[in-house]
Amino acid sequence: MPSSTVENYLKQILLITLEREEKVVPMGLISESLDVTPGTATSMAKNLEKEGWLCYEPRRGVSLKPAGRKLGLNILRRHRLLETFLVETLGLDWSEIHEEAEELEHAISEKVLERLDDFLGRPRHDPHGHPIPTKGGVMQRKKSRSLVGCKEGLSVVIESIDDQERNFLKFARSRHLLPGKKIKILSREEEADAMEIRVEGKMPFSIGFEAARKILVSV
Amino acid sequence: MPSSTVENYLKQILLITLEREEKVVPMGLISESLDVTPGTATSMAKNLEKEGWLCYEPRRGVSLKPAGRKLGLNILRRHRLLETFLVETLGLDWSEIHEEAEELEHAISEKVLERLDDFLGRPRHDPHGHPIPTKGGVMQRKKSRSLVGCKEGLSVVIESIDDQERNFLKFARSRHLLPGKKIKILSREEEADAMEIRVEGKMPFSIGFEAARKILVSV
DNA sequence: GTTTTCATTTTGAGTGTTCAAAATATAGGG
DNA sequence: CCCTATATTTTGAACACTCAAAATGAAAAC
Protein backbone atom coordinates (compact mmCIF):
# COMPACT_ATOMS: atom_id res chain seq x y z
CA MET A 1 0.00 0.00 0.00
CA PRO A 2 1.59 3.27 -1.13
CA SER A 3 2.16 5.91 1.56
CA SER A 4 0.54 9.32 1.25
CA THR A 5 3.95 10.71 0.38
CA VAL A 6 4.19 8.39 -2.61
CA GLU A 7 0.64 9.31 -3.59
CA ASN A 8 1.45 13.00 -3.47
CA TYR A 9 4.56 12.64 -5.59
CA LEU A 10 2.71 10.66 -8.25
CA LYS A 11 -0.29 12.98 -8.32
CA GLN A 12 1.94 16.02 -8.69
CA ILE A 13 4.13 14.44 -11.35
CA LEU A 14 1.01 13.51 -13.28
CA LEU A 15 -0.32 17.06 -13.10
CA ILE A 16 2.96 18.48 -14.34
CA THR A 17 3.12 15.92 -17.14
CA LEU A 18 -0.35 16.88 -18.32
CA GLU A 19 0.23 20.58 -18.02
CA ARG A 20 3.47 20.56 -19.97
CA GLU A 21 2.35 17.88 -22.42
CA GLU A 22 5.80 16.38 -22.03
CA LYS A 23 6.48 12.86 -20.78
CA VAL A 24 9.65 13.70 -18.87
CA VAL A 25 9.35 15.91 -15.79
CA PRO A 26 12.53 17.66 -14.58
CA MET A 27 13.35 17.36 -10.88
CA GLY A 28 13.18 21.08 -10.29
CA LEU A 29 9.48 21.25 -11.03
CA ILE A 30 8.84 18.36 -8.67
CA SER A 31 10.77 19.74 -5.74
CA GLU A 32 9.18 23.15 -6.26
CA SER A 33 5.59 21.95 -6.52
CA LEU A 34 5.89 19.65 -3.51
CA ASP A 35 7.89 22.19 -1.55
CA VAL A 36 10.82 19.92 -0.74
CA THR A 37 14.51 20.48 -1.35
CA PRO A 38 15.91 19.28 -4.70
CA GLY A 39 17.93 16.59 -2.95
CA THR A 40 14.80 15.14 -1.42
CA ALA A 41 13.08 14.95 -4.78
CA THR A 42 16.06 13.14 -6.27
CA SER A 43 16.28 10.53 -3.54
CA MET A 44 12.53 10.03 -3.65
CA ALA A 45 12.64 9.59 -7.42
CA LYS A 46 15.08 6.73 -6.94
CA ASN A 47 12.75 5.07 -4.45
CA LEU A 48 9.77 5.50 -6.74
CA GLU A 49 11.74 3.96 -9.56
CA LYS A 50 12.74 1.00 -7.41
CA GLU A 51 9.06 0.46 -6.59
CA GLY A 52 8.13 0.51 -10.27
CA TRP A 53 6.06 3.70 -10.41
CA LEU A 54 8.26 5.60 -12.83
CA CYS A 55 11.54 5.84 -14.75
CA TYR A 56 14.26 8.05 -13.40
CA GLU A 57 16.91 9.29 -15.80
CA PRO A 58 19.67 11.17 -13.96
CA ARG A 59 19.94 14.84 -14.91
CA ARG A 60 16.87 14.58 -17.12
CA GLY A 61 13.94 13.84 -14.83
CA VAL A 62 11.25 11.22 -14.33
CA SER A 63 8.50 9.81 -16.51
CA LEU A 64 5.51 7.92 -15.17
CA LYS A 65 5.10 4.23 -15.92
CA PRO A 66 1.55 2.90 -16.37
CA ALA A 67 1.28 1.99 -12.68
CA GLY A 68 2.31 5.46 -11.58
CA ARG A 69 0.03 7.16 -14.04
CA LYS A 70 -2.85 5.02 -12.87
CA LEU A 71 -2.26 5.77 -9.21
CA GLY A 72 -1.81 9.47 -9.97
CA LEU A 73 -5.12 9.59 -11.79
CA ASN A 74 -6.75 7.74 -8.94
CA ILE A 75 -5.54 10.27 -6.39
CA LEU A 76 -6.70 13.08 -8.66
CA ARG A 77 -10.11 11.43 -8.78
CA ARG A 78 -10.22 11.27 -5.01
CA HIS A 79 -9.15 14.85 -4.70
CA ARG A 80 -11.69 16.23 -7.11
CA LEU A 81 -14.59 14.15 -5.89
CA LEU A 82 -13.83 15.23 -2.34
CA GLU A 83 -13.70 18.86 -3.37
CA THR A 84 -17.09 18.45 -5.00
CA PHE A 85 -18.49 16.86 -1.86
CA LEU A 86 -17.13 19.60 0.36
CA VAL A 87 -18.77 22.31 -1.73
CA GLU A 88 -21.99 20.61 -2.84
CA THR A 89 -22.90 18.74 0.31
CA LEU A 90 -21.21 20.50 3.18
CA GLY A 91 -21.33 23.98 1.71
CA LEU A 92 -17.70 24.86 2.27
CA ASP A 93 -16.19 27.78 0.52
CA TRP A 94 -14.61 27.32 -2.85
CA SER A 95 -11.39 28.82 -1.58
CA GLU A 96 -10.79 26.46 1.30
CA ILE A 97 -11.54 23.05 -0.13
CA HIS A 98 -8.16 22.35 -1.69
CA GLU A 99 -6.25 21.95 1.55
CA GLU A 100 -9.03 19.85 3.07
CA ALA A 101 -9.18 17.49 0.11
CA GLU A 102 -5.39 17.28 0.13
CA GLU A 103 -5.60 15.48 3.47
CA LEU A 104 -8.72 13.42 2.97
CA GLU A 105 -7.66 12.04 -0.42
CA HIS A 106 -5.12 9.78 1.27
CA ALA A 107 -7.49 8.44 3.90
CA ILE A 108 -10.59 7.59 1.90
CA SER A 109 -10.98 4.01 0.73
CA GLU A 110 -12.00 2.92 -2.74
CA LYS A 111 -15.29 1.70 -1.40
CA VAL A 112 -16.25 4.92 0.35
CA LEU A 113 -15.12 6.88 -2.69
CA GLU A 114 -17.49 5.02 -4.98
CA ARG A 115 -20.37 5.52 -2.57
CA LEU A 116 -19.55 9.18 -2.48
CA ASP A 117 -19.51 9.28 -6.26
CA ASP A 118 -23.00 7.76 -6.35
CA PHE A 119 -24.21 10.08 -3.65
CA LEU A 120 -23.02 13.11 -5.63
CA GLY A 121 -24.64 11.83 -8.81
CA ARG A 122 -21.38 10.96 -10.58
CA PRO A 123 -20.26 14.50 -11.33
CA ARG A 124 -17.88 14.99 -14.26
CA HIS A 125 -16.31 18.22 -13.05
CA ASP A 126 -15.19 19.56 -9.71
CA PRO A 127 -16.13 23.03 -8.44
CA HIS A 128 -13.13 24.59 -10.18
CA GLY A 129 -14.31 23.15 -13.49
CA HIS A 130 -11.60 20.49 -13.67
CA PRO A 131 -12.53 17.11 -15.09
CA ILE A 132 -12.84 14.22 -12.62
CA PRO A 133 -11.09 11.05 -13.83
CA THR A 134 -13.37 8.04 -14.04
CA LYS A 135 -12.99 4.97 -11.87
CA GLY A 136 -11.23 3.34 -14.81
CA GLY A 137 -8.67 6.13 -14.92
CA VAL A 138 -9.90 8.08 -17.94
CA MET A 139 -9.91 11.86 -17.96
CA GLN A 140 -11.09 13.81 -20.95
CA ARG A 141 -8.71 16.55 -21.86
CA LYS A 142 -10.23 19.40 -23.78
CA LYS A 143 -7.69 21.84 -25.11
CA SER A 144 -8.94 24.99 -23.53
CA ARG A 145 -7.31 28.36 -24.06
CA SER A 146 -6.53 30.88 -21.45
CA LEU A 147 -8.44 34.12 -21.13
CA VAL A 148 -5.15 35.95 -21.48
CA GLY A 149 -4.91 35.01 -25.14
CA CYS A 150 -8.39 36.22 -26.12
CA LYS A 151 -8.88 39.10 -28.53
CA GLU A 152 -10.88 42.23 -27.92
CA GLY A 153 -14.59 41.81 -28.58
CA LEU A 154 -14.60 38.03 -28.12
CA SER A 155 -17.25 36.28 -26.01
CA VAL A 156 -16.21 33.12 -24.17
CA VAL A 157 -17.41 30.69 -21.50
CA ILE A 158 -15.30 29.94 -18.45
CA GLU A 159 -14.24 26.34 -18.32
CA SER A 160 -12.08 26.21 -15.23
CA ILE A 161 -9.98 28.19 -12.83
CA ASP A 162 -6.44 26.87 -12.83
CA ASP A 163 -5.10 27.93 -9.48
CA GLN A 164 -5.63 26.57 -5.99
CA GLU A 165 -4.44 29.65 -4.19
CA ARG A 166 -6.96 30.77 -1.57
CA ASN A 167 -6.87 34.47 -2.23
CA PHE A 168 -7.09 34.13 -5.97
CA LEU A 169 -10.14 31.90 -5.62
CA LYS A 170 -11.76 34.39 -3.29
CA PHE A 171 -11.16 37.14 -5.83
CA ALA A 172 -12.51 34.96 -8.65
CA ARG A 173 -15.70 34.21 -6.77
CA SER A 174 -16.22 37.82 -5.76
CA ARG A 175 -16.11 38.78 -9.45
CA HIS A 176 -18.33 35.86 -10.48
CA LEU A 177 -15.53 34.25 -12.42
CA LEU A 178 -16.94 30.73 -12.11
CA PRO A 179 -17.06 27.71 -14.45
CA GLY A 180 -19.95 28.07 -16.89
CA LYS A 181 -20.16 31.88 -16.75
CA LYS A 182 -20.15 33.81 -20.02
CA ILE A 183 -17.73 36.71 -20.30
CA LYS A 184 -16.95 39.32 -22.96
CA ILE A 185 -13.55 40.89 -23.54
CA LEU A 186 -14.24 44.61 -23.83
CA SER A 187 -10.68 45.75 -24.42
CA ARG A 188 -7.04 44.77 -24.13
CA GLU A 189 -4.25 47.07 -23.06
CA GLU A 190 -1.01 45.39 -24.04
CA GLU A 191 1.08 48.07 -22.34
CA ALA A 192 -0.87 47.99 -19.10
CA ASP A 193 -0.71 44.18 -18.95
CA ALA A 194 -4.44 44.21 -18.38
CA MET A 195 -7.77 43.65 -20.06
CA GLU A 196 -11.27 44.85 -19.37
CA ILE A 197 -13.98 42.22 -19.23
CA ARG A 198 -17.63 41.84 -18.32
CA VAL A 199 -19.23 38.78 -16.76
CA GLU A 200 -22.73 38.46 -18.21
CA GLY A 201 -25.16 40.54 -16.18
CA LYS A 202 -22.43 42.13 -14.05
CA MET A 203 -20.37 45.29 -14.03
CA PRO A 204 -17.26 45.43 -16.23
CA PHE A 205 -13.88 45.42 -14.50
CA SER A 206 -10.26 44.98 -15.46
CA ILE A 207 -8.02 42.04 -14.81
CA GLY A 208 -4.25 41.73 -15.16
CA PHE A 209 -2.68 39.33 -17.63
CA GLU A 210 -1.12 37.34 -14.79
CA ALA A 211 -4.55 36.62 -13.35
CA ALA A 212 -6.24 36.16 -16.73
CA ARG A 213 -3.73 33.43 -17.49
CA LYS A 214 -5.27 31.29 -14.74
CA ILE A 215 -8.74 31.43 -16.26
CA LEU A 216 -9.37 28.81 -18.91
CA VAL A 217 -12.16 29.39 -21.41
CA SER A 218 -13.80 27.90 -24.48
CA VAL A 219 -15.15 29.92 -27.39
CA MET B 1 0.07 19.33 15.33
CA PRO B 2 -0.09 15.79 16.74
CA SER B 3 0.62 12.92 14.34
CA SER B 4 -2.01 10.29 13.72
CA THR B 5 0.10 7.90 15.79
CA VAL B 6 -0.17 10.22 18.77
CA GLU B 7 -3.89 10.60 18.14
CA ASN B 8 -4.34 6.84 18.09
CA TYR B 9 -2.44 6.30 21.32
CA LEU B 10 -4.46 8.95 23.14
CA LYS B 11 -7.79 7.76 21.81
CA GLN B 12 -7.02 4.20 22.82
CA ILE B 13 -5.73 5.14 26.24
CA LEU B 14 -8.88 7.18 26.81
CA LEU B 15 -11.09 4.26 25.83
CA ILE B 16 -9.26 1.92 28.18
CA THR B 17 -9.43 4.47 31.00
CA LEU B 18 -13.19 4.78 30.59
CA GLU B 19 -13.78 1.09 30.27
CA ARG B 20 -11.81 0.16 33.37
CA GLU B 21 -12.88 3.22 35.37
CA GLU B 22 -9.29 3.48 36.51
CA LYS B 23 -7.05 6.48 35.91
CA VAL B 24 -3.83 4.51 35.39
CA VAL B 25 -3.57 2.31 32.30
CA PRO B 26 -0.93 -0.46 32.38
CA MET B 27 1.39 -0.70 29.37
CA GLY B 28 0.27 -4.20 28.49
CA LEU B 29 -3.25 -3.08 27.62
CA ILE B 30 -1.90 -0.30 25.42
CA SER B 31 0.50 -2.44 23.44
CA GLU B 32 -2.19 -5.07 23.02
CA SER B 33 -4.95 -2.76 21.87
CA LEU B 34 -2.73 -0.89 19.42
CA ASP B 35 -1.07 -4.07 18.26
CA VAL B 36 2.51 -2.95 18.88
CA THR B 37 5.23 -4.66 20.90
CA PRO B 38 5.46 -3.76 24.60
CA GLY B 39 8.77 -1.99 24.03
CA THR B 40 7.20 0.29 21.48
CA ALA B 41 4.43 1.25 23.86
CA THR B 42 6.95 2.08 26.58
CA SER B 43 9.08 4.29 24.37
CA MET B 44 6.01 6.00 22.99
CA ALA B 45 4.70 6.61 26.51
CA LYS B 46 7.91 8.50 27.28
CA ASN B 47 7.48 10.68 24.20
CA LEU B 48 3.87 11.39 25.03
CA GLU B 49 4.89 12.38 28.52
CA LYS B 50 7.58 14.72 27.18
CA GLU B 51 4.98 16.36 24.99
CA GLY B 52 2.66 16.85 27.96
CA TRP B 53 -0.21 14.55 27.00
CA LEU B 54 0.06 12.19 29.95
CA CYS B 55 1.99 11.02 33.01
CA TYR B 56 4.15 7.94 32.73
CA GLU B 57 5.03 6.05 35.89
CA PRO B 58 7.53 3.26 35.19
CA ARG B 59 6.17 -0.24 35.88
CA ARG B 60 2.74 1.18 36.65
CA GLY B 61 1.43 2.71 33.45
CA VAL B 62 0.18 6.01 32.10
CA SER B 63 -2.60 8.39 33.08
CA LEU B 64 -3.99 11.08 30.79
CA LYS B 65 -3.44 14.73 31.58
CA PRO B 66 -6.21 17.20 30.66
CA ALA B 67 -4.65 17.91 27.25
CA GLY B 68 -4.43 14.21 26.43
CA ARG B 69 -7.95 13.53 27.60
CA LYS B 70 -9.23 16.41 25.51
CA LEU B 71 -7.48 15.27 22.36
CA GLY B 72 -8.60 11.69 22.96
CA LEU B 73 -12.22 12.80 23.26
CA ASN B 74 -11.84 14.88 20.14
CA ILE B 75 -10.60 11.92 18.12
CA LEU B 76 -13.43 9.81 19.51
CA ARG B 77 -15.85 12.50 18.37
CA ARG B 78 -14.37 12.43 14.88
CA HIS B 79 -14.50 8.67 14.77
CA ARG B 80 -18.10 8.37 15.83
CA LEU B 81 -19.39 11.21 13.70
CA LEU B 82 -17.66 9.69 10.70
CA GLU B 83 -19.16 6.29 11.43
CA THR B 84 -22.57 7.91 11.57
CA PHE B 85 -21.98 9.64 8.26
CA LEU B 86 -20.80 6.45 6.59
CA VAL B 87 -23.94 4.59 7.64
CA GLU B 88 -26.58 7.33 7.46
CA THR B 89 -25.48 9.15 4.36
CA LEU B 90 -23.44 6.74 2.29
CA GLY B 91 -25.27 3.61 3.33
CA LEU B 92 -22.25 1.56 4.24
CA ASP B 93 -22.62 -1.59 6.24
CA TRP B 94 -22.47 -1.41 10.00
CA SER B 95 -19.72 -3.98 10.02
CA GLU B 96 -17.27 -2.15 7.79
CA ILE B 97 -17.37 1.41 9.05
CA HIS B 98 -14.90 1.06 11.90
CA GLU B 99 -11.82 0.59 9.75
CA GLU B 100 -12.90 3.35 7.39
CA ALA B 101 -13.44 5.85 10.19
CA GLU B 102 -10.15 4.80 11.72
CA GLU B 103 -8.36 6.33 8.72
CA LEU B 104 -10.56 9.33 8.07
CA GLU B 105 -10.57 10.52 11.68
CA HIS B 106 -6.98 11.70 11.34
CA ALA B 107 -7.51 13.56 8.08
CA ILE B 108 -10.67 15.51 8.70
CA SER B 109 -10.31 19.10 9.88
CA GLU B 110 -12.22 20.71 12.70
CA LYS B 111 -14.10 22.85 10.22
CA VAL B 112 -15.27 20.00 8.01
CA LEU B 113 -16.17 17.99 11.09
CA GLU B 114 -18.51 20.68 12.36
CA ARG B 115 -20.14 20.99 8.96
CA LEU B 116 -20.62 17.25 8.95
CA ASP B 117 -22.13 17.43 12.41
CA ASP B 118 -24.67 20.02 11.18
CA PHE B 119 -25.37 18.03 8.04
CA LEU B 120 -26.13 14.94 10.11
CA GLY B 121 -28.40 16.89 12.47
CA ARG B 122 -26.04 16.77 15.45
CA PRO B 123 -26.55 13.13 16.35
CA ARG B 124 -25.84 12.10 19.93
CA HIS B 125 -25.07 8.45 19.23
CA ASP B 126 -23.20 6.58 16.55
CA PRO B 127 -24.63 3.54 14.75
CA HIS B 128 -23.30 1.20 17.44
CA GLY B 129 -25.18 3.18 20.08
CA HIS B 130 -22.07 4.80 21.54
CA PRO B 131 -22.34 8.40 22.71
CA ILE B 132 -20.65 11.04 20.55
CA PRO B 133 -18.60 13.53 22.60
CA THR B 134 -19.66 17.14 22.08
CA LYS B 135 -17.45 19.75 20.47
CA GLY B 136 -16.60 20.90 23.98
CA GLY B 137 -15.37 17.44 24.94
CA VAL B 138 -18.27 16.22 27.04
CA MET B 139 -19.53 12.66 26.78
CA GLN B 140 -22.40 11.45 28.88
CA ARG B 141 -21.63 8.16 30.49
CA LYS B 142 -24.64 6.10 31.31
CA LYS B 143 -23.83 3.13 33.46
CA SER B 144 -25.29 0.46 31.30
CA ARG B 145 -25.23 -3.20 32.20
CA SER B 146 -24.34 -6.03 29.97
CA LEU B 147 -26.93 -8.46 28.67
CA VAL B 148 -24.88 -11.25 30.22
CA GLY B 149 -25.87 -10.17 33.71
CA CYS B 150 -29.61 -10.05 33.10
CA LYS B 151 -31.97 -12.39 34.89
CA GLU B 152 -34.49 -14.73 33.30
CA GLY B 153 -37.79 -13.04 32.45
CA LEU B 154 -36.33 -9.54 32.27
CA SER B 155 -37.14 -7.16 29.41
CA VAL B 156 -34.45 -4.69 28.38
CA VAL B 157 -33.56 -2.24 25.60
CA ILE B 158 -30.28 -2.48 23.72
CA GLU B 159 -28.14 0.56 24.28
CA SER B 160 -25.00 -0.29 22.37
CA ILE B 161 -22.90 -3.04 20.89
CA ASP B 162 -19.46 -2.98 22.44
CA ASP B 163 -17.30 -4.66 19.85
CA GLN B 164 -15.88 -3.48 16.56
CA GLU B 165 -15.17 -6.90 15.20
CA ARG B 166 -16.61 -7.33 11.70
CA ASN B 167 -18.03 -10.77 12.08
CA PHE B 168 -19.62 -10.09 15.41
CA LEU B 169 -21.33 -7.00 14.00
CA LYS B 170 -22.59 -9.01 11.05
CA PHE B 171 -24.02 -11.57 13.42
CA ALA B 172 -25.60 -8.87 15.57
CA ARG B 173 -27.30 -7.25 12.62
CA SER B 174 -28.53 -10.54 11.23
CA ARG B 175 -30.26 -11.20 14.57
CA HIS B 176 -31.59 -7.64 14.82
CA LEU B 177 -29.48 -6.91 17.84
CA LEU B 178 -29.38 -3.16 17.23
CA PRO B 179 -29.41 -0.12 19.51
CA GLY B 180 -32.98 0.71 20.53
CA LYS B 181 -34.37 -2.82 20.07
CA LYS B 182 -36.33 -4.36 22.93
CA ILE B 183 -35.38 -7.87 23.98
CA LYS B 184 -36.67 -10.36 26.53
CA ILE B 185 -34.54 -12.92 28.33
CA LEU B 186 -36.49 -16.17 28.05
CA SER B 187 -34.08 -18.37 29.96
CA ARG B 188 -30.54 -18.68 31.25
CA GLU B 189 -28.51 -21.87 31.25
CA GLU B 190 -25.57 -21.28 33.57
CA GLU B 191 -24.02 -24.65 32.68
CA ALA B 192 -24.33 -24.14 28.96
CA ASP B 193 -22.85 -20.64 29.17
CA ALA B 194 -25.81 -19.46 27.12
CA MET B 195 -29.15 -17.71 27.33
CA GLU B 196 -32.24 -17.74 25.19
CA ILE B 197 -33.60 -14.37 24.14
CA ARG B 198 -36.20 -12.88 21.85
CA VAL B 199 -35.90 -9.60 19.99
CA GLU B 200 -39.36 -8.01 19.90
CA GLY B 201 -41.27 -9.29 16.90
CA LYS B 202 -38.64 -11.89 15.98
CA MET B 203 -37.96 -15.55 16.58
CA PRO B 204 -36.24 -16.53 19.86
CA PHE B 205 -32.66 -17.78 19.66
CA SER B 206 -29.82 -18.49 22.04
CA ILE B 207 -26.67 -16.54 22.56
CA GLY B 208 -23.49 -17.47 24.45
CA PHE B 209 -22.36 -15.55 27.49
CA GLU B 210 -19.24 -14.40 25.66
CA ALA B 211 -21.32 -12.70 23.01
CA ALA B 212 -23.96 -11.46 25.43
CA ARG B 213 -21.22 -9.65 27.34
CA LYS B 214 -20.70 -7.34 24.36
CA ILE B 215 -24.31 -6.23 24.32
CA LEU B 216 -25.05 -3.35 26.65
CA VAL B 217 -28.63 -2.77 27.75
CA SER B 218 -30.77 -0.58 29.96
CA VAL B 219 -33.77 -1.82 31.92
C1' DG C 1 13.13 -16.79 51.67
C1' DT C 2 14.05 -18.60 47.46
C1' DT C 3 12.38 -19.46 43.00
C1' DT C 4 9.35 -19.05 39.19
C1' DT C 5 6.49 -16.28 36.33
C1' DC C 6 4.95 -12.41 34.14
C1' DA C 7 4.96 -7.59 32.83
C1' DT C 8 7.85 -4.12 31.60
C1' DT C 9 12.05 -1.75 30.15
C1' DT C 10 16.37 -1.40 27.71
C1' DT C 11 19.23 -1.87 23.76
C1' DG C 12 20.43 -1.80 19.11
C1' DA C 13 18.87 -1.64 14.75
C1' DG C 14 15.84 -0.59 10.58
C1' DT C 15 12.44 2.13 7.57
C1' DG C 16 10.72 6.13 5.25
C1' DT C 17 11.09 10.79 4.74
C1' DT C 18 13.29 14.95 5.29
C1' DC C 19 17.12 18.77 5.37
C1' DA C 20 21.57 21.51 4.70
C1' DA C 21 25.51 21.92 2.47
C1' DA C 22 29.12 20.36 -0.54
C1' DA C 23 30.14 18.27 -5.04
C1' DT C 24 29.26 17.71 -9.85
C1' DA C 25 27.15 18.10 -14.66
C1' DT C 26 25.41 20.57 -18.40
C1' DA C 27 24.27 24.41 -21.38
C1' DG C 28 25.19 28.98 -23.06
C1' DG C 29 27.88 33.25 -23.42
C1' DG C 30 32.15 35.30 -23.84
C1' DC D 1 37.39 26.65 -25.60
C1' DC D 2 36.99 28.09 -21.18
C1' DC D 3 34.04 30.00 -17.68
C1' DT D 4 30.00 30.87 -15.35
C1' DA D 5 25.23 30.15 -14.11
C1' DT D 6 22.00 26.91 -13.14
C1' DA D 7 20.09 22.33 -12.28
C1' DT D 8 20.95 18.22 -10.13
C1' DT D 9 23.16 14.76 -7.19
C1' DT D 10 25.71 13.19 -3.22
C1' DT D 11 26.67 13.00 1.56
C1' DG D 12 25.77 12.82 6.31
C1' DA D 13 22.55 13.55 9.65
C1' DA D 14 18.02 13.89 11.90
C1' DC D 15 13.15 12.61 13.28
C1' DA D 16 9.22 9.63 14.38
C1' DC D 17 8.00 5.18 14.72
C1' DT D 18 8.77 0.44 14.79
C1' DC D 19 10.74 -4.42 16.01
C1' DA D 20 13.35 -8.44 18.22
C1' DA D 21 15.63 -9.97 21.84
C1' DA D 22 18.05 -9.49 26.15
C1' DA D 23 17.79 -7.52 30.85
C1' DT D 24 15.30 -6.19 34.83
C1' DG D 25 11.78 -5.78 38.41
C1' DA D 26 8.01 -7.22 41.21
C1' DA D 27 4.52 -10.14 42.54
C1' DA D 28 3.04 -14.97 43.27
C1' DA D 29 4.06 -19.76 44.37
C1' DC D 30 6.50 -22.73 46.73
Q: Report the candidate in B89, B160, B103 with the shortest Cα–Cα distance to residue A90.
A: B89
Give the CB-side neighbour count of residue B28, counting CA atoms within 13 A: 2
> Which class is A145-218 in CATH?
mainly beta
**What's chain A look like in SS3?**
CCCHHHHHHHHHHHHHHHHHCCCCECHHHHHHHHCCCHHHHHHHHHHHHHCCCEEEECCCEEEECHHHHHHHHHHHHHHHHHHHHHHHCCCCCCCCHHHHHHHHCCCCCHHHHHHHHHHCCCCCECCCCCECCCCCCCCCCCCCEEHHHCCCCCEEEEEEECCCCHHHHHHHHHCCCCCCCEEEEEEEECCCCEEEEEECCCCEEEEEHHHHCCEEEEC
Q: In the predicted model, what is the mean pLDDT of residues A45-58?
A: 98
pLDDT one-digit tens code per residue, A6-34:
999 999 999 999 999 999 999 999 999 99
User: Which of A89, A100, A116 is closest, CB to CB, to B119?
Assistant: A89
B9-18, B29-38, B138-147, B150-159: least confidently modelled range: B138-147
What does DSSP say about strands A194-199 and B145-146: parallel, antiparallel, or unpaired? unpaired
What is the helix, strand, coil percentage profile of chain B, to 5?
Answer: 45, 20, 35
Asked if B4-64 and B145-218 have one fold, the answer is no
If 0-12 CB within 10 Å is exposed, 13-18 middle and 19+ buried, where does residue A97 land? Answer: buried
- With 90 as the cut, is the pLDDT of residue A163 above it? no
CA distances from A201 to A22, A145, A204 (A): 40, 23, 9
Q: What is the SS3 assignment for B56?
A: strand
> Does A39 contact strand D, using a CB cutoff of 7 Å?
yes
Mutation pick from A87, A90, A93, A117 vs chain B, by most beta carbons of B within 10 Å, is A90
The dihedral through the CA atoms of A26, A27, A30, A32 has a sign that is: negative
A144 pLDDT band (50/70/90 cuts)?
confident
B6-10, B63-67, B178-182: least confidently modelled range: B178-182
Distance (Å, rounded) from C-alpha A81 to C-alpha B25?
41
pLDDT score at A30: 98
E strand residue ranges, B53-162? 54-57, 61-64, 145-146, 155-161
Distance (Å, rounded) from C-alpha A88 to C-alpha B80?
23
Q: B4-64 is classed in which CATH architecture?
A: Orthogonal Bundle (1.10)
pLDDT, chain A, mean: 95
pLDDT score at A142: 75
pLDDT score at A6: 98
pLDDT score at A212: 92
Percentage of residues in chain A having pLDDT higher than 70: 100
pLDDT score at B19: 93
Distance (Å, rounded) from C-alpha B161 to C-alpha B154?
19
pLDDT, chain B, mean: 95
- With 80 as the cut, is the pLDDT of residue A169 above it? yes
Domain assignments of chain B as residue spans, ordered by start: 4-64, 145-218
- With 90 as the cut, is the pLDDT of residue A140 above it? no
pLDDT score at A62: 98
pLDDT score at A84: 98
What does DSSP say about strands A155-161 and A145-146: parallel, antiparallel, or unpaired? unpaired
DSSP label of B159 = E
Q: Report the candidate in A80, A93, A70 with the shortest Cα–Cα distance to residue A13.
A: A70
- B-chain CB neighbours of A116 within 8 Å are 90
- A-chain CB neighbours of B103 within 8 Å are 107-109
User: Which of B90, B111, B112 is closest, CB to CB, to A115?
Assistant: B90
Mutation pick from B90, B97, B118 vs chain A, by most beta carbons of A within 10 Å, is B90
User: Which of B104, B111, B115 is closest, CB to CB, to A104?
Assistant: B104
pLDDT score at B164: 83
If 0-12 CB within 10 Å is exposed, 13-18 middle and 19+ buried, where does residue B178 land? Answer: middle
Q: In the predicted model, what is the mean pLDDT of residues B20-36?
A: 97
> Does B36 contact strand D, using a CB cutoff of 7 Å?
yes
A60-74, B19-33, B52-66, B162-176: least confidently modelled range: B162-176
